[in-house]
Structure 1
Amino acid sequence: MMFNSRRKLVTLALTSAIGCFTPLSMAAKSPFWTKLTIPNDAPAQAIGTYQAGCLAGGKSLPPNGKGYQVMRLTRGRFYGHPDLVDFIKGLAAGMDKHNVGTLLVGDLSMARGGPFVRGHRSHQNGLDADLWYNLEKDRPLSLHEREALGAYSLVTANGRTVKPRLWSNNHQQMLKLAASNPKVDRIFVNAAIKKQLCKTKTSADDDWIRKIRPWWGHADHFHVRMKCPADSPQCKSQAPIPKGSGCDKSLNWWFAKHKPAPKKKPSKKPVKPKPKLPYWQQVKLPKACSQIFRAKSKYFH
């Protein structure tokens, strides 16, 4: 009897620690899936969308590999679908082969995906990765450096051009290697970086430059988004990229002055604004995610 009681206590402690059976409704202030540090024991699957999804059978990217190093290890955001992990390893190996530099890897997804408490709205289904533009770290970084070092911006303060003293052909080569991978859906960069690529492109570059999409921010890193994998029927793709290289008049929009939206007329009756919920509480996740968050890890069977 005493042995059985102790075994129950140990089982209960482990269950509480990994949050396997915590109801979703109990995750009021901090969702329990953000505390899960081990993927569930299931075949790899990206589920849902990039902004509302989760990750089954996630794979961790080792902290060090040929041509790359993972930054901000304490965040625990180095998990992804095997397609994403293999892509990063392949990109780093290609950069090493062409003497482009060392790839510094930022956030991927959490162990089982899902929304973050703060920061990203995407990176939820194991198919997104932030990769830094820093290329000069050709030595092993200490754990302290991985937490303290920052990514530098390649874009001028006015947001219109790249910084000539920082931008190099190696940055273009890195983006080309990344975008040329057939499993990559698109890559988000700052509009000034897209403009720089368009300046020097030839017609032979159109296929990979088409995948490079301008977006807000992304001056100190680029955001890679993989296509939905063949093994993930519940993964929902983003709308297809428009035809063309993206170096046309549509790019000018990012550098034009936009009129501010007209202010709404104040209501006669004062209305008390409702408190805005954090993004993770607004997201409607696929039903499968609840099972993935609650599932046991293979390490605790």
Structure 2
Amino acid sequence: MSVTVKDEARPVPAEDDAIVRARELNLSFGYHHVLKDIDLDIPRGRVVGLVGESGSGKSTLAKAIVGINRISSGSLTVAGAELARAKRRARHALYRRIQYIPQDPYSSLDPRRTIAQTLAEAFDPKSANPRSHAEEIAAVLESVQLPASVAERYPHEFSGGQRQRIAIARALAVGAELFVADEITSALDVSVQAEIIRLLARLREGDAEHSMIFITHNLAVAQAVCDDIVVMRAGRIVEVGELDRVFAAPQADYTRTLLDSVPGGKGFKLS
């Protein structure tokens, strides 16, 4: 497999054009301080990888961004709205603009609903009628390389890779501006990982409207998918930058340790 996902011609957006902005963000569970003094801008139209060893805080930060985890202090602004200050209706509208894709989306797909029913609700939550949205459902399934016929099936009838495609289709159907993909390839075998990465590459072609936070512990996958990289350790950000620069000349000792731990060492390629 040879994958090139990054668009080298895609400009880096200006600092004030951030889809996510965190300032002095802290998050604790009881007495356990999980995220510490997070300062981060995620530009629109980019794929930003969150990497680090297990327990570094990657998923905790991602779940704060999508509103699953509530921050303890600091500020978190998503799509121009500060989450802590947003009223209930505003938060509800905001969450349709952000889609969280978990490692195994089976738990987030209603087992009692067909894929058509799930996608119809994504297109129009007030009137989730699969017949009314049949053309849109077929089109969004085609965009993730699934035939329209799968719309009448239920989540348990699909493999892990197919469920990931359906989760991506649902995010597209909602019209989200920001996708948060949490280890979406880690539970898949290598060939299916390759298929999902190729799919993300194809969806990104000519697309400057969508942004993605891509959480992974696999640096080779990050290299194939991401424009920028955020390295986390023990709840703190230790390095941020364009992926090629960080991988070629890491500034933090921890980043160098992560890169050196990959088979082949620094300069490895996904193949």
Q: What TM-score, normalized by structure 2, do the two folds share?
A: 0.25
Q: Which has the higher strand share?
A: 2
Greater relative contact order (Cα 8 A, min sep 6): structure 1 or 2? Answer: 2
